[in-house]
Structure 1
Amino acid sequence: MSSDVVPALERLALLDGVPEAAAGAREAAADLRWHEGLRRRWREARAEAAVRSAVAGASLDGARAPASWLRGRVAAGDVDPAAARAEEAAVLAAWRAQVHAGALFGDLGGRAPRAPGAEVMAGLHRDLTAHLVAAGALQAGDVGRPRTTGRARDAAGADEPVGAELEARTALVVAVLDAERAPGLVRAAVVHAEVATARPFVTANGQLARVLARLVLVRSGVDPTGVALPDEMHAGDPLAYRRALAAYATGTPDGVATWLVHQAEAVTAGARAGAGLATGVLAGRPA
């Protein structure tokens, strides 16, 4: 099925405004790739990017904590979400998913390990939700497994897909994850929007959408550094983020283009933020 989606993704890359926005994202990501701070300290930069991406992504779902707090927990090794309060647990779980994604990036300049889409999606969902089982807030069977009946807890509207439509859209996500020959930016944007709007799991769909998008951006070479911070733009203007997702959900060419351009702009902004992060790492301080 992945080969079938490649031509469709290539057509999306040609929608109005998308080529120009994608070119801007590529230019910003290329500038980040050759930042002096990533020559020897890219691992430190990625570790900081995982912290900041977790904080930004969690905030979009209402779980807010400063990056300094998460850095402190990581430094102390106190990162078990099951032992934390609900909001803090969500941030720690988001960090755990970001670290898992980072393990799939591959070394900077190296080859990424093989990662089948369905397995990756299930594993990251476990990172985000396993602590909810321990708290009695989620059934074990709902962890890492797409829902087949009922509504997602994080549903935003009555048009949420169920049944055959949900199965088809979940299969689409997996196909796009595995479509490695398709344009990386479009792949990341479609995976992000499909998971965020179709909500294939009982909960944690927004967080999963964002970490999957970051993973695709890195593995596809759009952001080979793994240091860009696109979720910080989303978190900085949640209303614009949700409007862009709503535009995608219309299914119209203009609506989909709106979302693709928004994702490209997030990559551009995220690459610039990543450059600031790399500068901070080079100076021995978080940025």
Structure 2
Amino acid sequence: MTLPVRPGAVRPAARPAGPDPLAPLLDLPGVREASDAARKGIDRLLGHKVLRRESAGVSTESALRGARASAALEGVDVPLAELRAGAVTDPVVQGALRVSAGLGSMVETWTRAPGQVLARLHVLAAADLADRADLGRPAPHAGARLSGLFSVITGTTTAPAVLVAGLVHAELAALAPFGTADGVVARAAGRLTMITRGLDPKAVSVPEVGFAELGRDSYAAALAGYAGGTPEGVAGWLVHCCRATEHGGLEGLAICESLLRG
């Protein structure tokens, strides 16, 4: 997958007109430091010389590795070589691959019509897992909370992009609006937020690998902490998300180095 990110597609950080509801996230324990470390890790990746001429190749490999890691977080862990060879037919893996391949076409729509994008993500992720009539249709219980999330996605904030992405990811994972493939959808939404808010505009990091490397149990525990709604739980998830993003930057650097070596 190559992400066709045009100049108008990535939104620079903007200051909200009124009180910023996300600004206090930086004051939670450990969040500011973890956010700064994640930003530095991604900046280090974006400065790699390979990206001056091979960003499309890095993005394509990032999408493949991200799909594999996202499926692994759902409990379906397959060798990268088999995935690269097209030898894996598992429906969870195939859904994750379709999502990764489709993200590029959703970048410009994400901040304008996030509901439309989420529906499309679910169609791609769950095509072989859910009844056709249920694809792209959030459950009734999700309506009010999704509306609140859409205002975050389309709104402005001074909070770092990695925190906004983490919030979007966790809200969707906790809410599970579709009932199938919600984790794959949530991780894709987090990645789209990183792209559109300028953290990783070329989609060359692999945050899904970061989450997988930190472990499925740790991922589940951090999400459960967020869902609990306590300041400690929210802080724990955001720090976990920042660390995964930092690991994802290192994975992107590994891809750059492999292309450099040919």
TM-score (norm 1): 0.79
1:179 deviates by: 2.3
Instruction: Measure the CA separation in 2 of the matches of 1:261 and 1:278.
Output: 26
Query: 1: distance between equivalents of 2:221 and 2:18?
Result: 25
Match of 2:189 among 212, 222, 227: 212
- Kept in 2: contact 1:142–1:202 (CA 8 A): no
| C-alpha spacing 1:25/1:6, structure 2 compared with 1 (3 Å) | farther
Residue 6 of structure 1 contacts residue 181 of structure 1 at CA under 8 Å; is this kept in 2?
no
Question: 2:165 aligns to what SS in structure 1?
Answer: helix
Quote how far apart the aligned CAs of 1:6 are.
7.2
Map residues 96-135 of structure 1 onto 2, 5 A cutoff. 96-105=98-107, 113-115=108-110, 116-132=113-129
After superposing on structure 2, the runs of 4+ consecutive aligned residues of structure 1 that deviate more than 4 Å are 3-6
Amino acid at match of 1:170: L
**Mapped contact 1:233–1:269 kept (Cα < 8 A):** yes
In the other structure, the counterpart of 1:147 is 139
Task: Confirm or deny that 1:262 pairs with 2:217.
Answer: no
Determine the C-alpha separation between the residues in 1 that align with 2:41 and 2:52. Answer: 17
1:228 aligned onto 2:211: no
2:170 equivalent among 185, 190, 193: 193
Tell me the alpha carbon deviations over residues 123-179 of structure 1, each in whole angstroms, 9 at most, x when there is no partner. 1111101233xxxxx22221011012xxxxxxxxxxxxxx3xx32222222222222
Distance 2:180 2:209 in 1: 22
Taking structure 2 as the reference length, the TM-score comes to: 0.86
Shift of 1:67: 1.6
RMSD (Å), alpha carbons: 2.0
Separation in structure 2 between the aligned mates of residue 248 and residue 198 of structure 1, nearest angstrom:
11
Q: 1:64 to 1:200 in 2, by over 3 A?
A: same
Contact 1:50–1:98 (CA under 8 A) maintained in structure 2:
yes
Structure 2: which 5+ residue stretches go unaligned? 1-15
Aligned residues: 243
Structure 1, residues 178-237: CA drift from partner, whole Å, max 9, x if none?
224453122111111111111111211111111111111111111223111121122121
Counterpart mapping for 1:58-73 below 5 A: 58-73=71-86
Aligned to 2:13: none
Q: Percent identity?
A: 35
Aligned to 1:169: 145
Contiguous gaps of at least 5 residues in structure 1: 79-83, 106-112, 133-137, 149-162
SS at match of 1:146: coil
Q: Distance in 2 between matches of 1:172 and 1:4?
A: 18
1:7 counterpart SS class: coil
- Aligned equivalents of 2:137 and 2:183: distance in 1? 15
Q: Distance in 2 between matches of 1:104 and 1:215?
A: 8
**Contact kept in structure 2, 1:193 and 1:245, CA below 8 Å:** yes
